Structure formats: structure tokens, C-alpha cells
Amino acid sequence: LCMLITDVSKFSLGRLRPHFLTVCNPNLEEVCYQLEDTYIEAEDSDYSYTEIHHPKYVMENNTCTGNNDLMREARLSFISGHSSISFYTAAFLIIFMNKYINVWILRTLLQFTHFILACWISISRINDYMHHPEDVIMGSIIGIVCAYIIMYMEEYSVQKAGKQKDNELSPENIAMTVK
């Protein structure tokens, strides 16, 4: 569930990574203004100010000179997959340990360790210029929410199966099957 949400958002939203311009390696002659264009006087030229100073954008098809596979990967910043999976795993293990480990000091130490590890993984993605802080924050939120959803669904299905089993073993149902 967590990876499905993360991958769908990565491929549908496609935000640029912080190092996109390095990977793109744009042809600066295509993108930047020529120095001579800024000093053209009105008497010497038939061009208006808007024709000379139009915005130019870095686009893959005509200005980027980098590797196409790396440029495709550099468009997949939002949502951080590393932070969503690490926080999903940490939240899942924290909830699991809360239910099944009874030694308080061991449980607290392991839960804290998993949370710190997830934070470290997420922060390293920002420090490596692979994600923006917003990408990591959203990945962390999605990971935690998915862990709670999965744990809730597991608890709900166990309770539902227990009620079904109790109904099958009730005296009325046993008496009806004997007749």
C-alpha cells in the first residue's frame, strides 16, 4: 500500500529533484540571454522590449544535454520513497512491539532506535540533494498513515474472524446442525 501510493504520486506529480540542473546540463547558449541583446538601443533596432527579453525555460527536448535515463529519474522527487518505506517500517515495528514486547526498557529502546533510524534515512536524502524537505515530510506522513491503516485492518480482521468463530460455536448453531 505504501509503495503503491508513493510510486503513483512519483510518476503522476513528477517534481524535479534538487540536482536536476546538474543532471540536465543545459546548453546555456539556448537558455541564457546574449549580452548584446540587453544593450540594443531603440534607434538601431526594430525590435520591441518584449521581443528581445522573452523568458526561456530549461526543457528536456531542446536544451538538456544530459543522459535521458538520469533526467527521467531526476523528475521523481515527490514523494520520497526512502522516507515513506523507512517510516512505514518504523511505525509498523513500533506498533507491533507495543503489543507484543512486555519488557518496558527493551521495548522503548527498540522503538526509539527504529524511529531514529527512519529519521536518519530521511534526513540523508535531503543532505544528498536527492529530495526537497517537503518530499521527505510527505513521505514520512504517508509511511506512518499506511502503517496505522495496515495494523488497523489486521486488528479488525482478527476481531471479525473471532466473532465469526464464536457464532459458529454458539449452542443455537450447534443444535441446528444436529437436527
Please identify every residue annotated as catalytic: 82, 131
Round to whole Å and give the CA distance between 82 and 139.
8
φ, ψ at 40 (rounded to 5°): -75, 130
On whether the CB atoms of residues 109 and 97 are closer than 8 A, the answer is: no
- Enter the C-alpha cell of residue 18: 534538487
Judged on CB neighbours under 10 Å (0-12, 13-18, 19+), 152 is exposed
On whether the CB atoms of residues 66 and 16 are closer than 8 A, the answer is: no
- Enter the C-alpha cell of residue 161: 474472524
Alpha helices in 101-170 (DSSP H): 104-127, 133-168
What is the CB-side half-sphere exposure of residue 177 using CA atoms within 13 A?
8
Round to whole Å and give the CA distance between 111 and 108.
5
